[in-house]
Amino acid sequence: MSRGITYLLMFLIAQPVAFGAVYIALHERTGADLSHYADHGLFVALHVIGGLTFGLLGTLQVAPWFRNRSLRRHRVVGRVVVLAGAVAGFSALSLNVVHPPAEGLAKQIGIYVFGTFFLFALTMAVLKIRRGALADHRAWMLRAYAVGMGPASQALIGLALALSLGEVPVALSVAGHQAGWILNLGIAEWAIRTPGRRPLLSPA
């Protein structure tokens, strides 16, 4: 993965947060419901900060040009990534309980499924590296990263639907939301399992 692709991915990760901040700042024009942030501000802050930290640093971690320069730095940043990911994952699941999504049960279940898988993948990545299984460690981190990239893919899919249809039906909006995670995981599995992509999983 080149530097250009790395920085593009980091931009894609940051753009949902940036758009969300503008949406909230212009709430009088956009009609944003601020009660969600007032009632559960701590969970929201933990999720945004943890998720953004995981996404940005995680992008560097999976980039060979960054990872291979210093094994010590890779390990230090990796600990921060795992901690940030755990914060983002648990806060997302907590928000899903205290403030279920307005789109209904289908979206709530999707958040439970992919949020739980995200935390499972992080746990497996930690266990694998403690056992010295580098390829398995990186495979599980890539799966976790794929789920962490979900908001970026979901934002792009949502934008495409809005531009195509104008007013997007709730069911289609929810389907697009789940598709962001599924698409990312599909790409991650392809990268992990395709023989031509094995250098991604080679020792640092």
Each residue's pLDDT tens digit, 108-160? 999 999 999 999 999 999 999 999 998 999 899 999 999 998 888 888 898 89
How far is 203 from 184, CA to CA, in rounded Å?
24
> Mean pLDDT over all residues of the chain?
84
Kind plus residue range of the DSSP H or E element containing 70: none
**Cα Rg of the chain (Å, integer):** 17
What is the per-residue pLDDT for 82?
A: 95
How far is 53 from 6, CA to CA, in rounded Å?
15
How far is 157 from 153, CA to CA, in rounded Å?
6
Residue 197 in this model has a pLDDT that exceeds 60 = no
Q: Which two tokens stand for residue 73?
A: 């730095």
Q: How would you class 110 by CB atoms within 10 Å of its CB: exposed for 0-12, middle for 13-18, buried for 19 or more?
A: buried
How far is 18 from 36, CA to CA, in rounded Å?
18
What is the per-residue pLDDT for 76?
A: 92
Q: How many domains does the chain have?
A: 1
Identify which of 93, 204, 76 has the alpha carbon closest to the alpha carbon of residue 147. 93
Q: Between the ranges 12-26, 155-169, 190-204, where is the mean pLDDT highest?
A: 155-169
What is the per-residue pLDDT for 179?
A: 93
Percent of the chain's residues with pLDDT above 70: 86
What is the per-residue pLDDT for 202?
A: 38
Q: Which amino acid is at 32?
A: A
Q: Residues 20-46: what's their mean pLDDT?
A: 69
Q: What predicted TM-score, i.e. pTM, was given to this entire model?
A: 0.84
The residue range of the domain holding 15 is: 3-201
Q: Residues 56-61: what's their mean pLDDT?
A: 89
Q: Residues 160-171: what's their mean pLDDT?
A: 87
Using N-to-C axis directions, what is the helix angle for 134-148 and 150-165, rounded to 10°?
Answer: 40
Q: Are the CB atoms for 125 and 196 separated by under 8 Å?
A: no
Kind plus residue range of the DSSP H or E element containing 25: helix 3-25
What is the per-residue pLDDT for 19?
A: 72
Percent of the chain's residues with pLDDT above 90: 39
Confidence class for position 39, pLDDT limits 50, 70, 90 = confident
Identify which of 94, 89, 109 has the alpha carbon closest to the alpha carbon of residue 174. 109
Instruction: Give the CATH number for residue 176.
Output: 1.20.120
Mean pLDDT lowest for which of 61-70, 100-109, 193-202? Answer: 193-202
Q: For residue range 69-114, list pLDDT tens digits in order.
A: 878 888 899 999 999 999 999 999 998 888 888 888 999 999 999 9
What is the per-residue pLDDT for 201?
A: 39
